[in-house]
Amino acid sequence: MGQGLSCTTSKEHELFTAVQYGDIDMVNDLLEKDPNLVHHTTLYDRHSVLHVAAANGQIEILDFALNRSVKPDVLNRYKQTPLMLAAMHGKICCVKRLLRAGANILKFDSIFGRTCLHYAAYYGHADCLQAILAAAESSPVAVSWGYARFVNIRDGRGATPLHLASRQKRPECVHILLNRGALVCASTGGYGCPGSTPLHLAARGGSIDCVRALLAWGADRVQRDASGRIPYVVALKHKHGASAALLDPASAEPLVWPAPLKFISELDREAKALLEQALLEANRVREKNILKHTAYSLPSPSYSDVGTDDNTSETSDTELCCICFEQVCNIEVEDCGHQMCAQCTLALCCHNKPNPTTACLTPPVCPFCRSSIARLVVAKIKDQDYGDLDSGDIGSPKLRKSRKSCNFSEGSSSFKGLTAVGSFGKMGGRGSGRIAADNEWVDKP
């Protein structure tokens, strides 16, 4: 009996070692001798072949095991699925393969009651986060449960993926979740201080990029947690001075991305990115003014002054936006072809807010021809000598002083005095391949 158990244990050890290091030939040889080994698990953690392969990014062995009828949702000792471990370790190929195999995205572990979406957000793996959210849009489970509900799914302590990403200083994940409908002012249960919003947790972590993103999406600077603290107080307590300066209710209110507008949510992806960048650039000026009289400066290199005025100073007047006469045109109305800069486009779209009683939204109109704007795209430069060029080429020497703007002949005088910053003011305020040990999961309050 003892000898038989020892032999079985030895074979299992060989199998899981081979899986960890990606020795597909050894795995194949062992399973040919004993096909049942593929369903065995490790002694203590109850990790299956899929768990070990997913955690170590061994996609070939993962695919091999799935083709041998190993269930993609097999659970280990902590009720973690292989998909959770792949998301934890950022193994995007394994995440995609498990999703194609039908892995359940609504499984909860027994540690903190978290899903694969929580894992991806907590560990900051933006590609895994996007893959899971994309699967949720078509997953039968998520469809029956509700996509918006899934994006804001809570763990056993009331934390959404946005709470975890904000606390762990994952700005890219924060941005993805906000773009997909995460609630910016949701309060936690027992995670951190009860009643904490993502902004409280970002203030605690000290990530100015997370604070910046949350404020731009309408996070409330004066919302209090269960202890009566606003995010400003939390940032001060943890000695994050730059974040505290931006969170101070006495400082200038940041400009807010008009997330509720259906028109904005259905924008062309590249056009939306340009508009978001315009908003961040406008906020950059306010942030510099706030921090000017403090000992802190903006840490993000994307907010440096290098190159910010190059387009305006070097381009000719005929290349400038006919609304503000300051920025280069980079957004185009698809139907009529009229062009504006991103700053003026965003200000224009924000003038039409939904009716709070009917939720009816009047689409914005082109300021040049007064036709309804159904879609915005990145502007194309059409020149008889140089052909069609993207807006990224707008500052090239060949095109300087050669572009003729179609907007001047049809410009609306009512928009001539509209500046980008003035219009924004109307927006309102609103490593190792091994699987992680238990102590890596402790979220200290």
pLDDT value of residue 338: 87
The pLDDT > 70 percentage for the chain reads 72
Class of domain 154-251: mainly alpha
Whose CA is closest to 257, among 283, 234, 276? 276
- E strand or H helix at 432: none
DSSP H stretches of helix in 254-309:
262-265, 269-291
What does residue 382 show for φ and ψ, rounded to 5 degrees? Answer: -105, 115
Tell me the CATH architecture of domain 1-151: Alpha Horseshoe (1.25)
The predicted-structure confidence for 274-333, as pLDDT tens digits, reads as follows 888 888 777 877 788 787 767 665 554 443 333 334 443 344 445 688 888 888 888 888
Secondary structure of residue 422 in the 3-state scheme: helix
Yes or no: say if 94 and 125 are a contact pair by the CB < 8 Å rule. no
Whose CA is closest to 204, among 257, 163, 260, 176? 163
> What is the distance between the alpha carbons of residues 267 and 284, in angstroms, rounded to a whole number?
23
Domain edges within the chain: 1-151, 154-251, 262-293+313-426
Lowest model confidence (mean pLDDT) among 58-72, 139-153, 278-292: 278-292
Yes or no: say if 376 and 333 are a contact pair by the CB < 8 Å rule. yes
| pLDDT, mean of residues 223-235 | 96
pLDDT bin (cut points 50, 70, 90) of residue 58 is very high
Distances (CA, A) of 339 to 54, 254, 273: 48, 26, 16
DSSP H stretches of helix in 250-377:
262-265, 269-291, 310-314, 342-349
| pLDDT, mean of residues 24-53 | 93
pLDDT value of residue 382: 53
The CATH number that domain 262-293+313-426 falls under is 3.30.40.10
Question: Has residue 416 got a pLDDT over 50?
Answer: no
- E strand or H helix at 386: none
Lowest model confidence (mean pLDDT) among 1-10, 105-114, 174-183, 343-352: 1-10
The predicted-structure confidence for 181-207, as pLDDT tens digits, reads as follows 999 999 998 898 999 999 999 999 999
Question: Has residue 421 got a pLDDT over 60?
Answer: no
> What is the distance between the alpha carbons of residues 49 and 37, in angstroms, rounded to a whole number?
9
Structural tokens at position 408: 């001047």
| pLDDT, mean of residues 142-151 | 86
| pLDDT, mean of residues 235-253 | 92
The predicted-structure confidence for 108-140, as pLDDT tens digits, reads as follows 999 999 999 999 999 999 999 999 999 998 877
Mean pLDDT of the chain: 78
Place of tokens 């008889």: 384
> What is the distance between the alpha carbons of residues 138 and 238, in angstroms, rounded to a whole number?
42
Q: Is the pTM of this model over 0.95?
A: no
Question: Has residue 437 got a pLDDT over 60?
Answer: no
pLDDT bin (cut points 50, 70, 90) of residue 386 is very low
The predicted-structure confidence for 332-371, as pLDDT tens digits, reads as follows 887 888 888 888 887 777 654 545 444 455 667 888 888 8
pLDDT bin (cut points 50, 70, 90) of residue 428 is very low
> What is the distance between the alpha carbons of residues 153 and 408, in angstroms, rounded to a whole number?
50
> What is the distance between the alpha carbons of residues 167 and 73, in angstroms, rounded to a whole number?
28
Which residues are bridge partners to 332 per DSSP? 339, 377
Return the CA Rg of the chain.
26
Question: Has residue 64 got a pLDDT over 90?
Answer: yes
Q: Do domains 154-251 and 262-293+313-426 have the same CATH topology?
A: no
> What is the distance between the alpha carbons of residues 251 and 413, in angstroms, rounded to a whole number?
35
